Structure formats: structure tokens, C-alpha cells
Structure 1
Amino acid sequence: MIEPRLPKYRSGQRVKAAIDLLNDGSFPDATAEECLVSVGHIGEIVQVGRHTEANLPIYMVDFGKQLVVGCLEAEISAVQDIAQ
């Protein structure tokens, strides 16, 4: 059995796409391999789940315009909020 990994990010946290996020077939209104979110685009984690077979955290990230994408930790990075 694979030991569960604790999530690096949390629900409500702002993140940005670390790579171009391409359609893996889970978005029927987009063509296969179409870029859904470009690198650097900022979104907010709306839910943290777990991939049952790999036992890895999966992040549902709202990138706006009614686009919520499931992401792995390697596909996103934290946004550093700067207080003004």
C-alpha cells in the first residue's frame, strides 16, 4: 500500500498554473490536448481530494469563466500575496 501524502496546498488558497494545462479528454467542449489554462494563470483551490490509486492529492482549481480543472501538485504553485 502506498502511504498517503498530505496536501501541500489548502482549499481557498490562490495558486497559478506552473505549466500549460491541456485537455486530457475530461472537457468534452474542448478538443483533445487543447490548452485549457496557460502557464501563469491564477486560480483558487475550491476543493482538495485524493487520487485513490496513486494516493496523491488532487486539487480542483477555479480558474474563472466557469473553468474548474483538476490539478496535481506539480502542475500548480502558490501565489505569494503581497500586503500593500
Structure 2
Amino acid sequence: MFEPRQPVYQWGQRVRALGDLVNDGSFPDKPADAMLVAAGALGEIVQVGTHVETCTPVYLVEFDGQLVVGCFEEEIVAD
């Protein structure tokens, strides 16, 4: 088992999507592979958790005040 990696970003921090974020099946009301958030979109971290299998941080990011998407560190950057 891996030691959990400490998060780089914190709750309430503003971030931008580094690339287009697409549906991985987490949004059943949207088609698979549908674009959820365009690259460069601004969001705010509303929760920080840990991916159980890899012990890596997962960030719930609210984009446009309405859509919350789970992101890994390599998918976002501090604004």
C-alpha cells in the first residue's frame, strides 16, 4: 500500500483546467466522452479527497458555478 500523497492545492483555491475535461462515465446524464469543461475554464476547489487505489489527491472543482468535476493535479493549475 502507498502512503497518501499530500495535496498541492487547497479547498477554496481558484484553478484552471489545463485541457478539455471529458465524461469518464461519472456523469450518467451526459454521453460518454462528452466535453464537460473546456481547457482554460476557471473553477474553484470545493473539496479535496484521496483516490483510494493510488493514494493520490482528487479535487472536486466547481466550474462556472454549476458543474462539479473530479480532477487530478495534472488536470488543473493554480490561477
- TM-score norm. by structure 2 comes to 0.96
Q: Which runs of 5+ in 2 are unaligned?
A: none
**Going by fraction, where is strand more abundant, 1 or 2?**
2
Per-residue deviation at 1:64? 2.2
Is the radius of gyration larger for structure 1 or structure 2? 1
| Aligned 1:32-51 pairs, distance under 5 A | 32-51=32-51
Q: Which runs of 5+ in 1 are unaligned?
A: 80-84
Aligned AA (1:59): Y
Task: Give the equivalent residue in structure 2 for 1:18.
Answer: 18
Task: Give the equivalent residue in structure 1 for 2:57.
Answer: 57
Identity across the alignment (%): 59
- TM-score norm. by structure 1 comes to 0.90
Aligned AA (1:4): P
Equivalent residues, number: 79
**What's the C-alpha RMSD, in Å, of the aligned pairs?**
0.8
Aligned AA (2:22): L
